[in-house]
Chains A and B, each alone.
Chain A
Amino acid sequence: MKDVIKINKITDFIIGDAQAERAVPPTGFTARLTLFAAAVMAFLAVFALALSVSAARLSERWASELAQSATVRISAPQGQMQASTEAALVVLQTTPGVASARVLSDAEQRKLLEPWFGPEMPLEALPIPQLIEIVEGSEGLDAEALRLRLLGEVPGAVLDDHARWRAPLVAAAGRLSFLGWFSIGLIFAVMGAMITLAANAALAANAKVITVMRLVGAKDGYIASAFVRRFTLRSVTGAALGMGLGVIALLILPTGGGDDSLLSGLGFQGASWLWPLLIPLLAGGVAFGATQAAARRTLKELR
Chain B
Amino acid sequence: MVWRGRAKGKGKPLIELTDVAYSYGDGELLGDMTLSLPAGSFYFLTGPSGAGKTTLLKLCYGELLPTAGHLRLFDQDVRSLDRDGIAEMRRRIGVVHQDCQFLDHLSIADNIALPLTVAGQSVSGEQDNLAELMSWVGLRSRADALPPELSGGERQRAALARAVIMSPDVILADEPTGNIDWEMSQRLLQLLVELNRMGKTVVIATHDLGLIRAAKSQVQARVLRIAGRRIQQAGADL
| Residues of chain A at the chain B interface (Cβ within 8 Å) | 17, 19-20, 22-23, 25, 208-209, 211-222, 299, 303
Contact = CB atoms under 8 A, between A and B. Distances in A.
Contact of B84 (A20, A209, A213, A220): A220
A212 B117 contact: no
Contact of A212 (B88, B103, B119): B103
B110 A19 contact: yes
B110 A217 contact: no
Contact of A217 (B102, B113, B166): B166
Contacts of A212: 101-103, 114
Contacts of B117: 17, 19-20, 23
Contacts of B166: 217
B69 to A, nearest CB: 20
A133 B68 CA distance: 92
Given A20-B118, A213-B118, A219 B63 contact: no
Contacts of B115: 216-217
B97 A217 contact: no
B84 A217 contact: no
Contacts of B102: 212
B87 A219 contact: yes
Given A220-B83, A222-B120, 15 more contacts: A19-B113, A19-B117, A20-B117, A22-B106, A23-B117, A208-B103, A213-B118, A215-B63, A215-B95, A216-B115, A217-B166, A218-B118, A219-B87, A219-B118, A299-B83
Contacts of A211: 101
Interface in B175-206: none
A23 B103 contact: yes
B106 A23 contact: yes
Contacts of B118: 20, 23, 213, 216-219, 222
Given A212-B114, A215-B97, A25 B84 contact: no
29 contacts: A17-B117, A19-B123, A22-B106, A22-B110, A23-B103, A23-B106, A23-B114, A23-B118, A25-B103, A25-B105, A208-B103, A212-B102, A212-B114, A213-B114, A213-B118, A215-B61, A215-B63, A215-B95, A215-B97, A216-B90, A216-B115, A217-B87, A217-B118, A219-B83, A219-B118, A220-B84, A220-B87, A222-B118, A303-B83
B162 interface: yes
A-B interface, 6 closest residue pairs, ranked by CB to CB distance from nearest: A218-B118, A217-B91, A216-B115, A217-B90, A25-B105, A219-B87
Interface residues of B, number: 26
Given A20-B118, A23-B103, A209-B103, A215 B90 contact: yes
B122 to A, nearest CB: 9
A283 B119 CA distance: 30
A211 B113 CA distance: 16
Given A22-B106, A23-B106, A216-B90, A221 B114 contact: no
Of A209, A216, A222, chain B has the most CB atoms within 10 Å of the CB of A216
A17 B113 CA distance: 14
Contacts of B103: 23, 25, 208-209, 212
A18 to B, nearest CB: 10
Nearest to B82: A220
Contacts of B120: 17, 222
A286 B115 CA distance: 31
B85 to A, nearest CB: 9
A214 B88 CA distance: 10
Nearest to A303: B83
A227 to B, nearest CB: 14
A208 B103 CA distance: 8
Given A17-B117, A25-B105, A214 B87 contact: yes
A217 B101 contact: no
Interface string B111-151: 00111011110010000000000000000000000000000
Nearest to B124: A19
Contacts of A299: 83
Contacts of B123: 19
Nearest to B111: A212
Nearest to A221: B84
A213 B116 CA distance: 11
A23 B105 CA distance: 8
A215 B101 contact: yes
B162 A216 contact: yes
Contacts of A208: 103
Contacts of B105: 25
A214 B83 CA distance: 9
Of A23, A219, A221, A222, chain B has the most CB atoms within 10 Å of the CB of A219
A211 to B, nearest CB: 7
B84 A219 contact: yes
Contacts of B90: 214-217
Interface in B66-104: 83-84, 87-88, 90-91, 95, 97, 101-103
